[in-house]
Amino acid sequence: MSVNVSVGACLSCAADQAHQPYLDGRLRRCTGCGLGWTVPESGQTPARYDLDYFTGGGYEDYFLTAPRRFEAGRRLRWLSSVVGPSVLVEAGCAGGYFLEAARQAGFAVTGVEVSVAATRFAVDRLGVPVQQGHFEQVAPSLRADVVCAFHVLEHVADPRAFLRAAWDVLTPGGWLALEVPNIASAAARRLGHDWPGLQPRYHRWHFTPESLARLLAAAGFDLTRQDTAVFRYYMPLGYRVRHARRLLPRDWLDLRSPRLTHRRRGDLLRVIARRPRDTRSGR
């Protein structure tokens, strides 16, 4: 499915044709809310989420157990500060490490993953239940109290359709947890094309705190929590120590703080939103 990136209203704030080229025209951005979208190159083939993507194309190596379990544990701690053990669906669960951590914490878990290779890894190596396919297509068969999608929304053809699917999966009062790259981060502004969160080969959409909040509100969700983190937040301590001389000055420069999280300036934008209990107030 292709996305019209040159005309029409902004996906997030509905500003009509208020778009500007960004990063030498590789992206366009809404002047109202800052939402960006990738301009496909002529003749570009659709991105493939095969084994190569998880082992060097999009990730350094997603299937390395120790760093992925550390990452999963941090995300679970963040989610558990708001949500207790319940029925959880993770859309775009990749190799299943977050599902593994959530199940160990008492959640009843199910994953949905478009990649055949990642689905097989999650089922065969970690023993977590995962359905292979697009979340929007699998959603009608699911029901949950929590839907999580970490680094998924920037990949999908239509974020609005994804959020509608999440709404339908959730019980009234259910929780939606999202994480996406933050193109409004200090590092993104400083590094431009070299910012690691850009990845225009794979990322169709580029969110800011404002644009993601507007998109969630338009879908009927109540935003409960929003913050950002630097990439180093998900790196195990040993890695951070070994690379401190290279990473610490940059993070200090960007966040102006010793913390790894920040209200708006970090590389990774995290939100927890809620489907209202009174469904009449929804979409």
Q: Where are the domains of the chain?
A: 46-276
Residue 128 CA to residue 95 CA, distance in Å, equals: 9
The predicted structure's pLDDT at residue 206: 97
pLDDT in tens, 30-51: 998 999 999 988 767 777 777 7
- Burial label, 62 (beta-carbon count in 10 A; 0-12, 13-18, 19+): buried
Identify the residue whose tokens are 């933050």.
182
Alpha-carbon distance 233 to 164, whole Å?
A: 30
Kindly report the average pLDDT of the chain as a whole number.
Answer: 89
The answer to whether residues 97 and 67 touch, using CB atoms and an 8 Å cutoff, is: no
Signed CA dihedral, 91, 95, 98, 103: sign only: positive
Q: Give the global pTM.
A: 0.91
pLDDT above 90: percentage of residues in the chain: 69
Quote the CATH superfamily of domain 46-276.
Vaccinia Virus protein VP39 (3.40.50.150)
Place of tokens 């969700």: 221
